[in-house]
């Protein structure tokens, strides 16, 4: 009875996992889920810090997420942003603030062009100028 290592690896069909990307940066996905046309934009309003893992799961699945933090306390919002910052760093993605308490989180397969200017800073400058007059 000859034992072959090749046969061991050929019979591993239960785990159809594929590594996508480069040496430094890869995602582990099921081969069934690889469909570049199904990238989605997910809109979420977490109500607690515990929902941040769900946001990270969407990012791991290569979906963009818009996160509205207006329904959580400022302490929870800081924790969520800290958690998501670590997740985004790990997958090589980006995070941009698009409004007060609203962030766009994208994996590295999504290119975001342009920036949203912070109108509140401009309004503050205008109000300071008006006071000086």
- CATH number of this structure's domain 41-111: 3.30.110.150
In this prediction, residues 60-72 reach a mean pLDDT of: 96
Q: Does residue 34 contact residue 18 with C-beta atoms inside 8 Å? A: yes
Looking at residue 55, what is its pLDDT? 96
How far is residue 37's CA from residue 73's CA, in Å, rounded to a whole number?
36
Average pLDDT, rounded, for the chain: 77
Looking at residue 124, what is its pLDDT? 58
Spans of all domains in the chain = 41-111
* pLDDT tens per residue across span 22-49: 444 555 545 444 444 468 899 999 999 9
Q: What phi and psi values does residue 27 have, to the nearest 5 degrees?
A: -120, 145
Looking at residue 95, what is its pLDDT? 95
* pLDDT tens per residue across span 93-122: 999 999 999 999 999 999 888 877 776 656
> Which ranges constitute the DSSP H helices of 38-118?
52-60, 74-91
| pTM score | 0.62
Under the banding of pLDDT at 50, 70 and 90, the label for residue 5 is low
The beta strands (E) that lie in 1-133 are given as: 17-21, 26-30, 41-44, 64-68, 94-99, 102-106
Q: Does the pLDDT of residue 10 top 80, yes or no? A: no
Between residues 76 and 114, which one has the greater pLDDT?
Answer: 76
Reading the block at residue 82, the tokens are 């800290």
How far is residue 61's CA from residue 110's CA, in Å, rounded to a whole number?
12
Which residues sit opposite 38 in a β-bridge? none
In this prediction, residues 61-82 reach a mean pLDDT of: 96
Q: Does residue 78 contact residue 7 with C-beta atoms inside 8 Å? A: no
């Amino acid at each position: 009875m000859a034992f072959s290592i090749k046969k061991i690896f050929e019979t591993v069909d239960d785990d159809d996992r594929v590594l996508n990307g480069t040496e430094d940066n890869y995602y582990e996905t099921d081969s069934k889920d690889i469909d570049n046309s199904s990238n989605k934009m997910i809109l979420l309003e977490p109500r607690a810090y515990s929902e941040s893992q769900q946001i990270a799961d969407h990012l791991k699945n290569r979906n963009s997420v818009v996160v509205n933090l207006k329904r959580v306390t400022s302490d929870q919002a800081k924790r969520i942003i800290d958690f998501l910052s670590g997740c985004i760093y790990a997958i090589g993605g980006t995070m941009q603030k698009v409004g007060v308490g609203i962030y766009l989180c994208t994996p590295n397969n999504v290119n975001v062009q342009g920036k949203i200017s912070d109108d509140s800073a401009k309004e503050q400058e205008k109000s300071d100028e008006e006071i000086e007059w």
